[in-house]
Each structure stands twice: as C-alpha cells, then as structure tokens.
Amino acid sequence: MTSVNCELARDALSAAADGELPTAERPTLDAHLAGCPGCCQHAFLIEQLDRSVRVRPAEPVPDLVAAVTARARPARLGRGGWIRPALAWVAIVIFAQSAPALVFGEATGANTHVARHVGAFGVALAVGLAYAAWRPHRAFGLLPFTAALVGTVLLSALFDVLDGDRTALAESAHIGELIGLTLLWMLAGSPGWRGLPKRRKTHSATA
C-alpha cells in the first residue's frame, strides 16, 4: 500500500481491528491518519466499539446446578460404606445357590432344562449385584431389571406356595434375592423414597 485514500484507509483500519493488517502497511496507514482528521475520527470510533464489545458484561446464565443435581442419582455408600460389602456378600450367596443348578442341571422339583434356566437367572443376578457393589454409580441403571427379575421370582414363589407345590420354608431361599434388591435400591439413592408424602406433625396446644 504505497499510497492510500480514505476508502482504502478505512478498510485497512477494519483489518487492523481484526488483527489482519500486514505489518508492512502500518506505516502508510499511520501517515494517512496523520493528515486526515476524518479517518482519525473513524479510527477512534472503531477503537471505542472494539473496546466496548470486548469488555461488555457477560449475559446472565441461569444456574442449573440445583436442577441437575436434583435429577441425579449419586450412589449412597451407607455408614462406613457397609452397603457395598453387604451387597457383595449377598451376590456371593446367590451365586453359590445358583451355580450348581446351572452347571449340573439339578434343582428341586425341576427337570434339567428348567433347572439350568433357573440357575442361569440366579448367576446373572449375582453378577449384576456384584458389579453394582464394585461400581456403585451403576446401581441405578441396574435397578429396574433387578426389581423386575426379583419381583417375578417372588411372585412365582407365592403361587407355588398357594398351589401347595412348595412350602413357605422351602421358598425362603429367595430371601437373599429380596435382600439384594433392597441393598441395591439403597445404594442407588433410594429412588422414590423422597417422593412419598411426609406426615405433618401436629402439635396440640396447651393452655
């Protein structure tokens, strides 16, 4: 830019504001500004506009922390972290009860095929509970399937007792599965517990 008129100078000022003006062209622009009050005023306005844009206050952003944390399901480790080892122990017990049926196909009142299916469900449940004890933040995701599995197992046990096929004592073997579901629910943050209506305390007035 050997010589410059006002139009080219103002284009150069815009490029300079964006940091795109070549260093070699800066002296020619400064020489033009020294003798052109109109371009000097234009340069001043660009500088003022650039400064106001750069230092303008940030737009307010709504605080979403409370809303996000309210919907989160952080794991609850219990007092002294007792829930995780208790859940792991229940998983071991269920695995020990179910593995023989899966491997040998033997279960009271069931043929080999049905026994292996029952054993497979029990081993899968034990693995899921053990995984939740190892990775407690996964407990909430495992809860719906575990609740459905344990619920249907307990319902079938109830039908067997009502039909007289099994005794209540024999079906008490499923108590471990119920305990495992309860511990998993507690570890998942006891979902649904906070939604229960709280009883209002009534205070009787004394004269």
Which stretches in the chain have pLDDT values below 70?
A: 1-3, 53-58, 68-80, 109, 194-207
Q: What distance in Å separates the CA atoms of residue 169 and residue 166, rounded to the nearest whole number?
A: 8
pLDDT at 202: 46
Residue 17 is predicted with a pLDDT of: 82
Question: Looking at residue 205, what is its pLDDT?
Answer: 42
What tokens were used for 171? 């079906």
**pLDDT of amino acid 206:** 42
User: For the whole model, what pTM was predicted?
Assistant: 0.57
Residue 132: per-residue pLDDT: 92
* Per-residue confidence (pLDDT) for residue 70, from 0 to 100: 64
| Distance between CA atoms of residues 32 and 6, nearest Å | 8
CA distance 141 to 151: 17
**DSSP annotation string for 87-152:** HHHHHHHHHHHHHHHHHH--BTTB-HHHHHHHHHHHHHHHHHHHHHHHSGGGHHHHHHHHHHHHHH
Q: What is the pLDDT of residue 75?
A: 62
At residue 178, the pLDDT reads 92
Let me know: does 12 contact 39? Beta carbons within 8 Å.
no
> Half-sphere exposure of residue 10, counting CA atoms within 13 Å on the CB side?
10
Instruction: Look at residue 15 in the predicted model and tell me its pLDDT.
Output: 86
188 φ, ψ (degrees, to nearest 5): -80, 0
